[in-house]
Structure 1
């Protein structure tokens, strides 16, 4: 299955030509179509094929919802490079990961191997990637906690820094002195445990694609 229904339909048709009986359920949050009518929890299958990138954060959540809903050996085709995001999906059911560009014959061979009870990721690589994912999440949780410790005015100043505005511009826009702005910036750096405005902006950029982490972003 894939959030791109035309891709999903094309691959389903191709696998049908290799004696696979294919179901294409509705992607989480997606709309029903003529060929995508089944709910995930109504599907009965022996192996799963997931075709999606793992960014931005909402796409990763949708992918892991698929994996958690159907307890299957899953093969993931993705353009996302190896790293902690691979650990996220390996942690919840993926047994093989291949590039999105993988040819049909290789995909069929991989699915056959999964059906035979094989895993396509060795134990050491799986352990390292899953641990990398958990470390990443732990770091993120700490950063989110620091972001939410900011006062409303500190959040506003940080957002303006992220938008590329300097201290003087922020001072004019907020009708406060530059010394006051610098005081807010100093407090942000202290709470983020970083040494420069650039580092603080980088922290925000790292988190900003996840609306659940920064639910104040639009309203601050």
Structure 2
């Protein structure tokens, strides 16, 4: 026997094949690859979300145009209201004269009207019509209010012309022409009341409060009338 005494258990241990040590470099490589893949995925996903949610140039342009249109419309509403007030000031003497010349309540007969009176009414009506000439283009609601007021002014100018023509007639022809002038005046006042009501609503929506630019009407003419809210007040 050799001097070296080797036990069977030791021989088994010596002859057992060694397990390779874990490759730490490979493990870190896999971790790094996963981290890079995750980062790339986050970047790609973030880019997709940004691309889907950011306003594109067309939407930005549309938003800008809408904002500019809203600001322009607020300015037009204010200008139209001022025009309506100045026009009402021109037309009140005309309506007062016509109400005395063509009363509809039956309480008094027509008063004497001179040719100079009629000429003054014609000039005032023509100036009112001119005030609505060449209107700017605005939002639909503003255009409707302006068109209603402009139409009413033209109808009232026609009323004055009809009355002037009736003055030169006699008998049934004169009576028929006067009746036509009365109906034209009623139509003009009704049309104005539509425009004034629309203008009041526009001012409320624009933040200017109630603006009651109405013309005086008789109860039987069926025109719209202003509400009871104070001038310049806002709906609660």
Q: TM-score, normalised by structure 1?
A: 0.30
* Pair member with larger Rg: 2
Structure in which a larger fraction of residues adopt helix:
2
Higher relative contact order structure (alpha carbons within 8 Å, sequence separation ≥ 6): 2
Structure in which a larger fraction of residues adopt strand:
1
